Amino acid sequence: MIVVFNFIAGALSLLGTFYRHSVIAAVLFLVVVQAAVLFWRRTQPIAVLLVVIVTMIVAFAIAPDREPSSPALAFAVYAVSVYGPGRARLVVVGAAIVMVVVAVALLLLNDFDTSRKLLPAGVVTLIAWVIGDYIRSRRTFFSELVARHQKEREQAAEEERLRIARELHDVVAHNVSAMAIQAGAARVSGSSSAEALESIEAGARATLAELNRLLGVLRKSPGAPLAPQPALDEAEALLKPAREAGLEATLKVTGEKRPLPSALELSAYRIIQEAITNVLKHANASRVEVVVEYQPDALLVTISDNGTGGNSTESTGHGLIGMHERVELFGGEMKTGSSSLGGFTVRAKLPLKS
């Protein structure tokens, strides 16, 4: 469209002129060249502008009384302003300003003829550059906006994947480990009591229920169960698998108990759950102790055992990594090491922001 428009505009500008046929043919040829090169204005804006300027100078030399400015100049300058590199853009706008200033100075010096020829070209160039600069700025703004939103979406998706991975690991590892230990204890004892089988069945059903809940959220199914997240009041239930495996498990709550943010309470619950799972899987312990301490500005959770299987250097598994991530979400700190019971201890401090 732009190529055709410039050709028509250039051809119409020759109507009513009284040039020789050779001059008209030469000027018409230059008009065709100006219009044709605009086809590459997006990919080669600087080269197109140079060709347009050269053809304008040649046309002015052939017919000095013609207006040196043309629509092709405006489109070429606009293309440089939108698609060209920074230095070329500055050179173009600088040249436009100089042309306007010189034309005004010549006008004040009563050189109307030269000023009349320079001023239109300078003004057209300057206006085209300003419009192009505005379009370029808007495109840059929108592209940055889209990129920022895309990055935020990717970050949100990554955080959600990590959250779901932690939930799956905490739930499945805890319940499956408890079932494995109960089954192993029944095998070693040489009898499969109804109580042990019922406990294994209950653990399996609880695991399936949690998996269905998480998978339902992933599918965004309208019928997905929206059960409340577990809280610290239910921490006593986490000790049941340890007790059924023959461990002496105790829970102690100290400090002034008060309502906690749901996300922080869930993290504390999952940390206790994962720590007990590690005791069952690795510690070879006979005793595990859980202490929940409500401090004035933080919640301190400590899980200790008297086993020999865990040590502070075993921090490469997904369990301890997940616990560290949960603590870091709240700007807290987590320490692992030897416990007062003679085994391994996990101590997580979750700050309570006012």
Least confident residue range of 34-38, 51-55, 217-221, 235-239: 217-221
What pLDDT, in 10s, does the model give residues 13-61? 655 555 566 667 777 787 788 788 888 888 888 898 898 888 888 877 8
CA atoms within 13 A on the CB side of 75: 24
Which secondary structure element, helix H or strand E, spans residue 179, and what is its range?
A: helix 112-189
User: How far is it, in rounded angstroms, from Cα 342 to Cα 311?
Assistant: 11
Domain boundaries for CATH 3.30.565.10 within the chain: 248-354
* Rounded CA Rg of the chain: 39
Share of the chain above pLDDT 70, in %: 73
> To the nearest 10°, the Cα dihedral for 84, 89, 91, 93?
140
Q: How many residues does the chain have?
A: 354
Cα 156 to Cα 32: distance, rounded to the nearest angstrom: 54
pLDDT score for 56: 82
List the structure tokens of 331.
């700007």
Model confidence pLDDT, tens digit, residues 288-322: 999 999 999 999 999 999 887 555 444 445 567 77
What is the per-residue pLDDT for 173?
65
User: Hey, is 309 helix, strand or coil?
Assistant: coil
Residue type present at position 331 = G
> Which residues make Cβ contacts (< 8 Å) with residue 264, sequence separation at least 6?
299, 330, 350, 352
Task: Report, at the CATH architecture level, how domain 248-354 is classified.
Answer: 2-Layer Sandwich (3.30)
118 to each of 101, 187, 250, how far by Cα in Å?
10, 101, 93
Average pLDDT, the chain: 79
* Range among 59-73, 108-122, 327-341 rated most confident: 327-341
